Amino acid sequence: MRQLTHIDAESTLTVGVAPYFSARWLTPRLGRWWARHPNIDLQLRHAYQPADFLHDKVDAGISWGHGDWDEAEVRPVLTGELVAVCSPALTGLDAIAKDIGTLTRQRLMCEFDRRHWELWFRNAGLVITRKLDVVVFDDSHALRRAALECHGVALFFRGLIQEDLESGQLVQILDVKVDPGSAYYFVRPKGKPVGPKLAAFQRWLMDEVRRAPFA
């Protein structure tokens, strides 16, 4: 039994990953990982918080945040630009196309900070003189669903809605971006030797970033 347990540990790589990033970006690409490394047992551990190498039993992580984690070495995976998107069936979309100022009368939605909408309008060249109706969601899945259901206009992470934009399920309003100060990073324990399994995963991940950064 000790031998079997040792063999299992030798072949297993555990990576902590944010759930929405996993569903939209990482999981669809896993076929290429398994084809390249069939003998490495990749285990994904989903969590909304950045990987905690002091308390969580993970070898590495793909985490959303500012990238300044003392206990981790980090490499950027996906930048965090936010764009305004909505369903093409949203009532009032034609009026927005003619006068961007009418967007202030829509229900505005975001995930992180309602002040990001103020920054979006500023970047669009508009001075806002009224209080904005902003609904904050704490989950990317719920925010995307609300946009798809025509509940309003969402500030969403540009890197993870490429498929929705290409299919026409969502449309982007203006070529205006907001930098929330965060992004997705590949993280691993600082000062710890990089074993062959982790090195293989890091190489594959960076190859995927170069091949197709958006999802």
pLDDT digits (tens, 9 = 90+) for 162-175: 999 999 999 999 99
**Which residue, among 139, 137, 99, has the nearest Cα to 18 in the 3D structure?**
139
Report the alpha-carbon distance of residue 53 to residue 65 in Å, rounded: 16
Specify the pLDDT at position 9.
Answer: 52
Specify the pLDDT at position 54.
Answer: 83
Specify the pLDDT at position 11.
Answer: 80
Specify the pLDDT at position 8.
Answer: 47
Task: Answer yes or no: is pLDDT of 5 > 50.
Answer: no
Task: Answer yes or no: is pLDDT of 2 > 60.
Answer: no
The mean of the pLDDT values for the chain is 92
Specify the pLDDT at position 10.
Answer: 67
Confidence of residue 3 (pLDDT cuts 50, 70, 90): very low
In degrees rounded to 5, what are phi and psi of residue 25? -115, -55
**Which residue, among 134, 139, 135, has the nearest Cα to 121 in the 3D structure?**
134
Dihedral sign, Cα of residue 37, residue 40, residue 46, residue 49: negative
* H helix intervals, 85-161: 93-98, 115-123, 140-148
pTM of the entire predicted model = 0.88
Among the residue ranges 17-26, 47-56, 120-129, 132-141, the one predicted with the least confidence is 47-56
Specify the pLDDT at position 88.
Answer: 97
